[in-house]
Amino acid sequence: MSTNRAQQKEKTRRLIIDAAFRLLSQERSYSNLSLREVAREAGIAPNSFYRHFEDMDELGLTLVDEGGVALRQLMRKARQRIRVQGSVITTSVETFMEFINNSPHVFYLLLRERSGTSLAFRKAVSRELQYFIVELADYIQHTQGYPTDDAKIQAEAMVILVFNAGAEALDCKPAELKLLTEKAITQLRYIARGAHGVLKKRRTQLNPPSTS
């Protein structure tokens, strides 16, 4: 395949992906989209769709993967911002909420397919959540010095909490979103402090102060 032809194929594939994302909304779930509708939105003939995806399920799994990648990349940038702005939790939550506000269609997909009827889609979203958990656990382990298992438990609690807050954020007005963001930040701080307290107590029990 020539370079120009490969580039055109990738361009058309991108048009299909972007078209499917645009069609998602609070009222429209992925399962309600038809191949013809996506093709029309992308500006291609329906038959051309099959040159890029086997079926709508393959396209849907691609959307889940792309949505997860986009969000993970954004959160990595947030951790870079932390070095300048300070608070890990505040910066991370605000970045996450910005993502939902700017790309609600992506989060609609992840949220709905997390508990959807398709086993393949549920597994795909679960896999994306696990990626978040692993990355956050690694960050906690290296910045806080926590054992691997403890860092993962804390990361899992934090990711689930923020994901659920994101679901609420989709229907919030600006003032409500501000309150929701502040609540999520407070809840995450409770988790972090609780984890610190548990580990401190465990270390004290394993290494009790000398009475001599």
Q: Are residues 172 and 85 in the same domain?
A: yes
Q: What pLDDT is attached to residue 86?
A: 62
Q: Is 68 exposed, middle or buried (0-12, 13-18, 19+ CB in 10 A)?
A: buried
Q: Are residues 187 and 94 in the same domain?
A: yes
At 2, the pLDDT band (50, 70, 90 cuts) reads low
Place of tokens 């959807």: 116
At 154, the pLDDT band (50, 70, 90 cuts) reads very high
Q: What pLDDT is attached to residue 102?
A: 85
Q: Are residues 69 and 171 in the same domain?
A: yes
Residue 212 lies in a domain: no
Residue 146 lies in a domain: yes
What count of Cα atoms within 13 Å lies in the side-chain half-sphere of residue 72? 18
Q: How many helices (H) and strands (E) does the chain have?
A: 8, 0
Residue 53 · residue 59 · CB < 8 Å = yes
Report CA-CA distances (Å) from 116 to 31, 38, 110, 120, 122: 9, 20, 10, 10, 6
Q: Taking residues 93-114, what's their average pLDDT? A: 86
For position 66, which CATH number holds? 1.10.357.10
At 120, the pLDDT band (50, 70, 90 cuts) reads confident
Q: What pLDDT is attached to residue 36?
A: 95
* Amino acid in position 49: F
At 191, the pLDDT band (50, 70, 90 cuts) reads very high
Q: Are residues 93 and 153 in the same domain?
A: yes
For position 31, which CATH number holds? 1.10.10.60
Residue 211 lies in a domain: no
Q: Are residues 34 and 16 in the same domain?
A: yes
Specify the pTM.
0.82
Q: Are residues 64 and 43 in the same domain?
A: no
Q: Are residues 61 and 143 in the same domain?
A: yes
Place of tokens 């402090």: 193
Top mean pLDDT of 34-48, 58-72, 126-140 is at 34-48
Q: Are residues 95 and 9 in the same domain?
A: no
Q: Are residues 85 and 183 in the same domain?
A: yes
Q: By C-alpha distance, which of 162, 156, 161, 126 is closest to 138?
A: 156
Q: Are residues 191 and 137 in the same domain?
A: yes
**Domain housing 11:** 1-53
Q: What's the total number of domains in the chain? A: 2
